[in-house]
Structure 1
Amino acid sequence: MAQAVLTAEKLNKYFYDPAMIHVLHDVSLSVCEGEFVCIMGKSGCGKSTLLYLLSTLDTAYEGALYINGIRVTGLDENDLAHFRNKHIGFVFQFHFLLPEFTALENVMLPALKLGKLNPKEAEEYAIEKLRQMDMHEHARKLSGKLSGGQQQRVAIARALINDPKIIMADEPTGNLDSTNTAIIFNIFDQLVKEGNTIITVTHDHDFAAKSNRILEMADGQIKS
């Protein structure tokens, strides 16, 4: 039986400005190693909010979150940042690459921050990750000179540089055409086959239909 790599227990989230809004209501879920899970629902249902809690990017919530058997709820900011950099790769809808840096330099940054690799090792490994995305020939190009689909593939390479077992993505194909959407899905599918776990928020029903499991959200709760 596959082991749970992420478990959330009764997550509640509130926004307080301009008035208190209860955004997530007692959300509990478990994701197993090697699963490809898509979170879907109408705009405003809380799916992106949930993803940011699961990724530890947002820590202002009630409940408990366990990742790789470790209770991450309550960890201090520095420990949490180190844990996230080591265990979780995050892909945003907008790539957030540094345009004045090359594709290679953007991919290297998380590895240099984690400190497990020296600069030469980080560069070699970043090239390997870019090759995995079929982007190695563009390694020395400024990221701002790449197309949208190419930039998103570089962003995925960056998310993978520290070999996280969990990759989370918020609308990773939201700004892409159908051709690049298919490329991104195939990359994710291959990552799952290699033993990674993927949790992604998407509006794309065709994309979600190819995943292992769909979590439908409405009114701050998982409905199915």
Structure 2
Amino acid sequence: MNEALVAEKVNKYFHEPEEFRVLQDISFSINRGEFVPIIGKSGCGKSTLLYLLSTLDTDYTGLITINGERVTGLSQNELAVFRNKHIGFVFQFHFLLPEFTALENVMLPAMKLGRWSKTEIEDRALQQLRQLEMEPFAHKISGKLSGGQQQRIAIARALINDPMIVMADEPTGNLDSGNTKLVFDIFSRLAHEKNIAVVAVTHDLDFAKHADRVIEMKDGHIISPNI
């Protein structure tokens, strides 16, 4: 099985101040080893879709399957465990703990998962930082690092538990062009060399246009699933 994620007839409604259908019969799939940005104007529903796909929002109709497992209908506790095992998250605002070192931030999801010893987790975290050319900063307080460096730490943190899918919400929104290209190269390498599915919501068309394919949204619909 090569499908990492499948969405089938997903619909989402907002109920305040009046009922509004923000996602309309969304259906598509993404394979392992694919880097797929989701693009569209503000308000088109792309970030809402990402939060459904990532299981952070469960108020929808339709069906979402990740790594062959139906996540629709799982309890919040079951979803929390599933996310930590299978999904890595990268956000526009990296959400690092500023008083922790880079290494400590990367270790956190693995400490929560409890699959490895603390020594093994530290080794894994250092390996991730090394792959992202951040090992020299491992013991630096994350709040003292640049925006580009912090985003690379956030990517290392997303990878610590060997996820089969990485979901990113505007991951380059606060970065300059040089760091944007670096993040693109990292995501592309993760997909093609590590066989990870990478799904990234973005406004940046330059960031998106060299990916494997692009899903374009408008008014809650997918209008171009394979640019």
Which TM bucket (shorter chain)? Answer: over 0.9
Residue equivalent to 2:95: 96
Residue equivalent to 2:155: 156
Tell me, in whole angstroms, the C-alpha distance in 2 between the residues paired with 1:165 and 1:35.
Answer: 11
Tell me, in whole angstroms, the C-alpha distance in 1 between the residues paired with 2:188 and 2:213.
Answer: 13
Runs of 4+ in 1 over 3 A off after TM superposition: none
The CA deviation at 1:17 is 2.2
Tell me, in whole angstroms, the C-alpha distance in 2 between the residues paired with 1:189 and 1:74.
Answer: 32
**Equivalent residue runs for 1:1-224 within 5 Å:** 3-194=2-193, 195-224=195-224
The CA deviation at 1:220 is 0.4
Q: Deviations over 1:43-96 (max 9, x none)?
A: 000000001111111111111100111100011111111111111101001100
Tell me, in whole angstroms, the C-alpha distance in 2 between the residues paired with 1:12 and 1:50.
Answer: 9
The CA deviation at 1:207 is 1.1
The CA deviation at 1:18 is 2.1
The CA deviation at 1:32 is 1.1
Tell me, in whole angstroms, the C-alpha distance in 2 between the residues paired with 1:27 and 1:81.
Answer: 24
Tell me, in whole angstroms, the C-alpha distance in 1 between the residues paired with 2:220 and 2:186.
Answer: 30
AA matched with 2:206: D
* Superposition RMSD in Å: 0.9
Q: Give the conservation status (yes or no) of the 8 Å contact 2:55–2:83.
A: yes
The CA deviation at 1:21 is 1.6
SS in 2 for 1:30: strand
SS in 1 for 2:214: strand
Tell me, in whole angstroms, the C-alpha distance in 1 between the residues paired with 2:186 and 2:89.
Answer: 14
Tell me the percent identity. 65
The CA deviation at 1:213 is 0.7
Tell me, in whole angstroms, the C-alpha distance in 2 between the residues paired with 1:193 and 1:62.
Answer: 32
SS in 2 for 1:187: helix
Q: Give the conservation status (yes or no) of the 8 Å contact 2:32–2:191.
A: no
Tell me, in whole angstroms, the C-alpha distance in 2 between the residues paired with 1:135 and 1:106.
Answer: 13
User: Which one is further off, 10-19 or 107-116?
Assistant: 10-19
The runs of 5 or more residues in structure 2 that have no matched partner are: none
SS in 2 for 1:223: strand
SS in 2 for 1:134: coil
The CA deviation at 1:14 is 1.2
Tell me, in whole angstroms, the C-alpha distance in 1 between the residues paired with 2:153 and 2:37.
Answer: 22
The CA deviation at 1:175 is 0.5
Tell me, in whole angstroms, the C-alpha distance in 2 between the residues paired with 1:198 and 1:56.
Answer: 15
Tell me, in whole angstroms, the C-alpha distance in 2 between the residues paired with 1:39 and 1:193.
Answer: 18
SS in 2 for 1:216: strand
Tell me, in whole angstroms, the C-alpha distance in 1 between the residues paired with 2:191 and 2:123.
Answer: 23
SS in 1 for 2:38: strand
